[in-house]
Amino acid sequence: MPPPLPPPSQLSRRGFSSPIWICLLLSNVFFAGILFGVSICVHYPTHFQAAPSSSITDLRRDLLCLLRPPLSSSPARAITNGEHDEGCDPSVGPERLPALQGTFYRILVPLAGGGPRRGLEKKMCLRLASETFRLLSHVLSDEELLSLGSANTLRPVANQSWPSKVAFLFLTRGPLPFAPLWQRFFRGHEDKFSVYVHATPGFSFSEDSPEVFQSAMIRSQKVRWGEPSLVDAERRLLATALVDFQNQRFVLLSESCVPITNFTYVYKYLMGTNKSFTDCINDQSPWGRGRYRWEMMPEIHIDQWRKGAQWFGLNRQHAVAVISDSKYYPKLRKYCVPHCYVDEHYLPTMLSIIDARGLANRTTTYTDWSRGGQHPRTFSAQDITAEFIRSIQNDARCTYNGQPNQPCWLFARKFEPSALHPLMKTLQF
């Protein structure tokens, strides 16, 4: 068992050059058929120094410390099936070890710069559970996290079939009023989803909140709506979720979003297409092109400028593109400042430049803009009727995999907390 984590706010944010190293017991390694505890090197402020390490040999601690250089200088090379399978038995799965959950990852751990410790280069089989990935976000800097997420460093052991998962990324200020509804939505599908929550720093869920959310917090930073910190938070969520190779689809949600249909349907819908769902509007108005700045040339031409709400559903390839983008994002960060809102333009513009055909050109989150203005309509308890829900569920004014007359919406926003009770009663899942 990993030791309890100190609250994220107490974790050090310094770089890995910190002299204080403590190895935190994170996961188990299958080594010569024997389970050993293995540590990942993290650094904590001194008062957390009393970390368990007695069961860890220096050698293995060293090995795990080697996870460090790949994150900054030399990316760890993911290895494919075959070659020296030291300590790595792909046939050992949850069937044979029911007590173990999580995915076995085979990774090659290189040593920075070679030298006398070169002999330590090892292929290892790590068991990393979803919790571990979220934990990584608390001990890595953004840069390291983005690098780890985009490097595909950790790959599942070949020939093991692990279900693909949908990563639900909640970008929230504080509590999730619809947590009970989400909990019901997720129930029974535990191997097919993961949840990540980015909240205001210092926020933590109350103890009676569903466990699925309590354990989902990643390291967060202050977010100001409409500013780049919002997109930074989205990238932080994506990077954390990308480390888990099972995550193949990535959905961004807020505290005012609700699921509008059952999990089975959502999963099939998202997995059943290679397209990413994001609005991608070529808006010629002052609120669209009017926000373009010539300084974004030559990377972004004015007719490549797009707009759309940020509530995306991305495939893995596009999620990696977002977190590893060092070409377009810096331009938007610098020049898309109010009244240009970077969260409304970054994804649609960047993804349509790199892979327009891979986009569905719509989102799967229903929003009512019919009243016009800056903000969509917010629904409260009185608005929730069976007809209202059915009208969203049956709305088929879109295409799916090129087919017309398919339902368009999986999620909906924006809802006031008062809508929870009627939604629980009206939604049949």
Least Å distance between CB 118 and ligand NAG?
28
Q: How far is CA 294 from the centre of its chain?
A: 32
Q: Which is nearer to ligand NAG, 10 or 264 (CB)?
A: 264
Q: Which residues of 103-125 are buried (b: 16+ CB within 10 A; e: fewer)?
A: bbbbbbbbbeeeeeeeeeebebb
Least Å distance between CB 157 and ligand NAG?
9
Torsion sign (Cα): 354, 359, 365, 367? positive
Q: Which is nearer to ligand NAG, 62 or 368 (CB)?
A: 368
Out of 15, 174, 188, 272, which residue is the one contacting ligand NAG (CB under 6 A)? 272
Q: Which is nearer to ligand NAG, 90 or 156 (CB)?
A: 90
Out of 46, 204, 274, 317, which residue is the one contacting ligand NAG (CB under 6 A)? 274
Residue 273 binding ligand NAG, by CB under 6 A:
yes
Strand pairing class (365-366; 34-42)? unpaired
Q: Which is nearer to ligand NAG, 130 or 276 (CB)?
A: 276
Q: Which is nearer to ligand NAG, 310 or 361 (CB)?
A: 361
Residue 281 binding ligand NAG, by CB under 6 A:
yes
Residue 282 binding ligand NAG, by CB under 6 A:
yes
- Cα 33 from Cα 357, distance rounded (Å): 47
Residue 267, helix vs strand vs coil: helix
Out of 132, 172, 261, 367, which residue is the one contacting ligand NAG (CB under 6 A)? 261
Please give the full DSSP string across 141-167, using - where no structure is assigned. Answer: -HHHHHHHHHTT--EEPTT-----EEE
Out of 265, 287, 335, 388, which residue is the one contacting ligand NAG (CB under 6 A)? 265
Q: Which is nearer to ligand NAG, 86 or 416 (CB)?
A: 86
Torsion sign (Cα): 321, 314, 150, 229? positive
Least Å distance between CB 166 and ligand NAG?
14
Residue 399 binding ligand NAG, by CB under 6 A:
no
**Burial zone of 382 (CB within 10 Å; 0-12 exposed, 13-18 middle, 19+ buried):** exposed
Residue 391 binding ligand NAG, by CB under 6 A:
no
β-bridge partners, 165: 247
- Cα 79 from Cα 74, distance rounded (Å): 15
Q: Which is nearer to ligand NAG, 120 or 398 (CB)?
A: 398
- Cα 398 from Cα 406, distance rounded (Å): 7
Residue 284 binding ligand NAG, by CB under 6 A:
no
Residue 132 binding ligand NAG, by CB under 6 A:
no
Residue 364 binding ligand NAG, by CB under 6 A:
no
Shortest CA distance to 129 belongs to which of 163, 158, 105?
Answer: 105
Q: Which is nearer to ligand NAG, 90 or 94 (CB)?
A: 90
Least Å distance between CB 415 and ligand NAG?
20
End-to-end Cα, the chain, rounded Å? 34
Q: Which of residues 86-125 bind ligand NAG (CB under 6 A)?
A: 90
Query: What tokens appear for 165 in the block?
Result: 């998962």
Out of 10, 55, 264, 406, which residue is the one contacting ligand NAG (CB under 6 A)? 264
Chain contacts with ligand NAG (rule: CB under 6 A): 90, 158-159, 261-262, 264-265, 272-274, 280-282, 361, 429
